[in-house]
Structure 1
Amino acid sequence: MTQSVPDFSELLKGTQRSAVHLELRDTYAAQDSGGFAEYLRTGYAEQNPDAAFWSRWGGLVREAVGRGVSMRRARIVSEPVTDYIRYEHALTVANVALGEHVRWLPRRQASDIALPGNDFWLFDDSAVLFNHFAGDGAWAEPRLTYTEDPAVATLCATAFETVWNRSIPHEEYRPA
């Protein structure tokens, strides 16, 4: 059953063991951000985890990882990849430096995986926060839904682990 949506930072602060994130889209609304526009113009993506660009996210990740939470992110991507995925791949250097483990799975290798219909965060294998996007990558309403339904958590955990086990570590993945 869907419940009211807790604040993401509070969910992460309450996590004891693991936070995993599965990303399924080839573009997000962030494509309109200054960072992406600069990347398209110059090829530059902010990879310094201590830069202001990363301050909010970096603080959350460092705090969680510092108390022993394993943070893993898997991305299923179409190949050839979009410019946005190239940008995201370049940025991921900072995610890894902050303590996240990140892997990439070409979409053609995910055809036989039962996947939820939306990107999600799964906290301690029991709480799921779904992210909802429109076709153009902008946030859709409602932006988020939250559930602690054991069947939904199991679906998400199984999907994530299957993707994770097939995917390529960030350091080895080369966007095609």
Structure 2
Amino acid sequence: MPSSVPPFSELLANTRESAVHFEMRDDYGTNPRLEAWQRGERINWDDRESWWHPFHQTIADAVARGVAVRRARIVSEPVSEYIRWEHYATHANVMAGEDVRWLPRSQATGFLVPANDFWLFDGKLIRVHHFAGDGRHVSDELSTDPGDLKLCVSAFEEVWQRAIPHSEYTI
């Protein structure tokens, strides 16, 4: 069944000030880049053409327009193999212009977070991600509900303030 949720690139293209991504899972299933990393293959960061994907260009274009793109991840420690790979691959996100921070789950007590990962565009539109137990992406939905917006903005900002910048977070 086709999704009625616009593609991420369209949502970001309509964003004027900020886009934030909140991630809380320790595993998002498998993908070819993860599998290559598990086989010992490493990215040649000097060969941008080999790792630069349309997603990175979408982020870079938004940043060039003045959109602040931030990503916060809550992770369990010791980290899962997936998070170990994601930490390695985050260099590409940073090169595209994202500001990324990591918060150990042990430091995430004392405030509420939504049950799902999400993107928040200009503080006005949430793209909620739904995943299966094995990490497989199932669906997305959009929300402009004021209560949802308040919770997502509050949770993201609380995590952002506590989280460790990517360049300082070691695993």
- Give 1:47 shift: 4.3
Match of 1:102 in 2: 100
Question: For the Cα contact (< 8 Å) 2:44–2:50, is it kept in 1?
Answer: no
Alignment-mate amino acid for residue 73 of structure 1: R
Q: Deviations over 1:8-61 (max 9, x none)?
A: 1111001000000000000112x2x22111211216246468334432111101
Determine the C-alpha separation between the residues in 1 that align with 2:147 and 2:84. 34
Q: Which stretch of structure 1 is more off in the superposition, 40-49 or 123-132?
A: 40-49
Identity among equivalent pairs (%)? 49
Alignment-mate amino acid for residue 19 of structure 1: A
Match of 1:136 in 2: 134
Match of 2:163 in 1: 167
Q: TM-score, normalised by structure 2?
A: 0.92
- Give 1:7 shift: 2.2
Question: For the Cα contact (< 8 Å) 1:16–1:69, is it kept in 2?
Answer: yes
SS at match of 1:114: coil
State the aligned residue count: 168
Alignment-mate amino acid for residue 94 of structure 2: V
Match of 1:6 in 2: 6
For structure 2, the 5+ residue unaligned runs are: none
- Give 1:78 shift: 0.3
Match of 2:22 in 1: 22
- Give 1:6 shift: 2.4
SS at match of 1:171: helix
Q: 1:145 to 1:47 in 2, by over 3 A?
A: farther
Q: Deviations over 1:68-100 (max 9, x none)?
A: 000000000000001110100001111111100
Q: Which stretch of structure 1 is more off in the superposition, 44-53 or 119-128?
A: 44-53
Q: 1:8 to 1:49 in 2, by over 3 A?
A: farther
Task: Select 1:151's aligned residue among 135, 147, 154.
Answer: 147
Q: TM-score, normalised by structure 1?
A: 0.90
Determine the C-alpha separation between the residues in 1 that align with 2:110 and 2:15. 30
SS at match of 1:125: coil
1:58 aligns with 2:56: yes
For structure 1, the 5+ residue unaligned runs are: none
